[in-house]
Amino acid sequence: PAQTNIFYGRRHDDRPWLTMIIRGGGMGANSKMDGHHCAIFPANGANTPVEIFESDTPLLVEARELVPDSGGPGRMRGGLGRKMVIRVPDDEYAPQPPVTRAIQAGRCKYPPEGIFGGKPGAKAQFLVNGEPGDPSGLTFCKPGDVVAFYSAGGGGYGDPFERDPEMVRRDVIYGYVSVEQAREDYGVVIDPETFEIDYKATERMRSGR
């Protein structure tokens, strides 16, 4: 589920720079546990801290966060993918254009599949200034451009309607799953204000499928 991103170019003072960042994605669930979030598989490496990335490059990280609802629904939920937004500065310290970006990423076309009734995780995405970018070629950025990377979520394991409602409630509280996905994919009705489960409505949802 990991993505490798390479950025390179010249700084404002003409010094060359290059960096590589590996961003983890969601792992698939198994029969006993939910998938891990943001795993770098198979290297089992660590995600690069924002502070190191920004100190090593002339780029700015505007966001790095888990993507809600990206884990494949299942009796065991797939791990969540990650969103990372990087801006090319346009101030006096802006790098010289172009800033070249290369990416190696899977699951941009086909999502990670679930098994035994589990649903697929979210596909990976790559955006440039809010528009779909080319995830397989080079991208030439200029000062002021914003690139966003969404790594894929992991596939779910087993029927989502068999997931313990309390586990779904916990996921909603943590922000892993939205109230809407809890209802539509897990058949669990949760009050968006109190996060209490409506057990009668949940039973109707699940039995009426």
- Which tens digits make up the pLDDT trace of 171-186? 999 999 999 999 999 9
Query: What is the pTM (predicted TM-score) of this model?
Result: 0.90
Q: What integer pLDDT is reported at residue 107 of this predicted model?
A: 83
SS3 56: helix
The residue ranges of DSSP E strands in 34-170, in sequence order, are: 60-66, 82-87, 96-105, 125-128, 131-132, 138-141, 146-150
pLDDT band at 1 (very low <50, low <70, confident <90, very high): low
Q: Are 73 and 84 in contact (CB under 8 A)?
A: no
CA distance 97 to 78: 39
pLDDT band at 43 (very low <50, low <70, confident <90, very high): low
Whether 105 has a pLDDT exceeding 90, the answer reads no
% of the chain exceeding 90 in pLDDT = 79
Q: What are the distances in angstroms from CA 147 to CA 16, 83, 87, 110, 182? A: 21, 11, 6, 21, 30
DSSP state letter for 85: E
pLDDT in tens, 111-155: 999 999 999 999 999 999 999 988 888 999 999 999 999 999 999
- Region at 118 (left for phi over 0; alpha for psi -120 to 50; beta for the rest): beta
Q: What integer pLDDT is reported at residue 41 of this predicted model?
A: 65
Q: What integer pLDDT is reported at residue 32 of this predicted model?
A: 96
Residues 6+ apart with CB under 8 A from 164: none
Whether 209 has a pLDDT exceeding 90, the answer reads no
Q: What integer pLDDT is reported at residue 42 of this predicted model?
A: 64
Q: Within its chain, how far is the Cα of 115 from the centroid?
A: 20
pLDDT in tens, 158-171: 999 999 999 999 99
Q: What are the distances in angstroms from CA 82 to CA 1, 49, 188? A: 10, 13, 25
